[in-house]
Amino acid sequence: MSDAITPAEADAVLLAHLLPTRSVRCPLEKCAGRYLLEPVVTDRPQPPFNRIMMDGYAIRSSDGRGPYRVLGLLRAGEAPLPLPFETGTAWEVCTGGVVPPGADVIVPYEHTLKKGADLFLTDEAETGVGTCIHAEGSDQQQGEIVLSPGRRLGSREITVAASMGYATLPVRQHPRVGILSTGDELVDPADTPKTHQIRRSNDLAIDTALALNTLHAQTRTSLPDDPDIMQNVLAELMDSHDLLICTGGVSKGAYDHLPDVLTTLGSQSLFRRVRQKPGQPMGFWTRNDCRIFTLPGNPLSVLCGLHRYVLPFLHACLGASSAFAAPPVQTLQDSPSDAPLTRYLPVKFGPDALVTPCPFRNSGDLIRPLESDGFLAIPPHAEGCSFPFYPWY
């Protein structure tokens, strides 16, 4: 294991070799899941006027509980009319509209009574100045930053950006991603495998995780353990893609040709082994502007490497401010580790946001991880019960 690096060292290598993706202006409706590159600033105070918060009546607080003469209905979206200085006058108003100048209280319908043409307030009605009024500029003043670079764009962020007049936002262009699985034993999912074969699944797992992170692979292919075929296909893929995610053929077996093929094609190996379990023979390579992950072929090794390194790397390339920072979670029991490796332990959440282990039999175990919500990264010689957590996609 002398040539293996730690997970933290692997993170540092990945951060030092992010993809050189360019900035693009993206329409708001296409920004979901991307990362903001420049601040979003208020173009006017928020709210931009004294906003009515309830359907009801606009009155002057000093006018008491009535009777009031209702002057008419002011709809949201209409320019407001002032409340006369005459005592006991009111405007009927709608949520979202502008508070009529001269009024300082909105009384909801349910706290009023009508007697003929006269309006009265009930004993429950609040008449303090500012009741049911969202005051102009009480949230933000004009020119303030409301969204900072590195923030992921979801429904709340798009709501704010649209409200500030942004039709497009600066984000990074999505990289061209290719997924490559290797192995003579692989057949298509629809095929009936022979006794010495298995159905191909790693490439589909990776593609699915990418899709759930608003990313998509341009290419997904499977290759036999033939170095000549590998070399021809990889040469073409590296010239036409920004990132390749390869599975299988990366260890020290007689048919593990991928590292030699990458070297022959002029790729530079930045690391080939990581002190972790599962997934120790994991590598990262560069060739010009293309980056290549080489993951072991066992399903759980692929899933752990994908969620622990590949997805954070892609998020960092797209502008995430802290892509490699995983939140700590508490376990219901100590999970000591005497091994010199970081151990990835599948866990599931309980009712109190604590997690319990769902240990797997080996890195080829497909079934046990189905019971889990993600995995903990337990460092070597760890003690305690709080560790970084990575959710499955």
Q: Is the pLDDT of residue 371 over 80?
A: yes
Average pLDDT, the chain: 92
Q: How confident is the model at residue 151 (pLDDT cuts 50, 70, 90)?
A: very high
- Kindly indicate the confidence band of residue 1, based on its pLDDT and cuts at 50, 70 and 90: low
DSSP state of 35: B
Q: Are 378 and 387 within 8 A, CB to CB?
A: yes
Comma-separated ranges of CATH 3.90.105.10 domains in the chain: 31-45+140-171
Considering the chain, what percentage of its residues have pLDDT values greater than 70? 98
Domain covering 7-21+174-317, topology: Molybdenum Cofactor Biosythetic Enzyme; Chain A (3.40.980)
Cα–Cα distances in angstroms (integers) from residue 6 to residues 10, 29, 249, 273, 379, in the given order: 6, 40, 22, 9, 10
Identify the CA nearest to 172 among candidates 20, 321, 13, 14: 20
Q: What is the pLDDT of residue 209?
A: 97
Which residues are CB-neighbours of 114 under 8 A, at least 6 positions away? 120
Q: List, by residue range, all CATH 2.170.190.11 domains of the chain.
A: 51-134
Multiple choice CATH, 328-391, 3.40.190, 3.40.50, 2.40.340, 1.10.287: 2.40.340
Instruction: Report the pLDDT value the prediction gives residue 369, as an integer from 0 to 100.
Output: 82
| CB contact at 8 A, 46 and 163 | yes
pLDDT of 282 = 96
Q: Tell me, what's the pLDDT at 40?
A: 97
- 210 with 217: CB under 8 angstroms? yes
- 291-343 pLDDT tens trace: 999 999 999 999 999 999 999 999 999 999 899 999 999 887 666 666 789 99
Q: Does domain 51-134 have CATH number 2.170.190.11?
A: yes
Q: How far apart are the first and last CA of the chain?
A: 30
Whole-number Å distance between alpha carbons of 41 and 165: 10
Delimit the CATH 2.40.340 region(s) of the chain: 328-391
In sequence order, the β-bridge partners of residue 223 are 182
> Which residues of the chain does CATH 3.40.980.10 include?
7-21+174-317
Q: Which CATH number fits domain 31-45+140-171: 3.90.1010.10, 3.90.105.10, 3.60.15.10, 3.40.225.10?
A: 3.90.105.10
The count of C-alpha atoms lying within 13 angstroms of the C-alpha of 317, restricted to the half-sphere facing its C-beta, is: 24
Of residues 33 and 191, more confidently modeled:
33
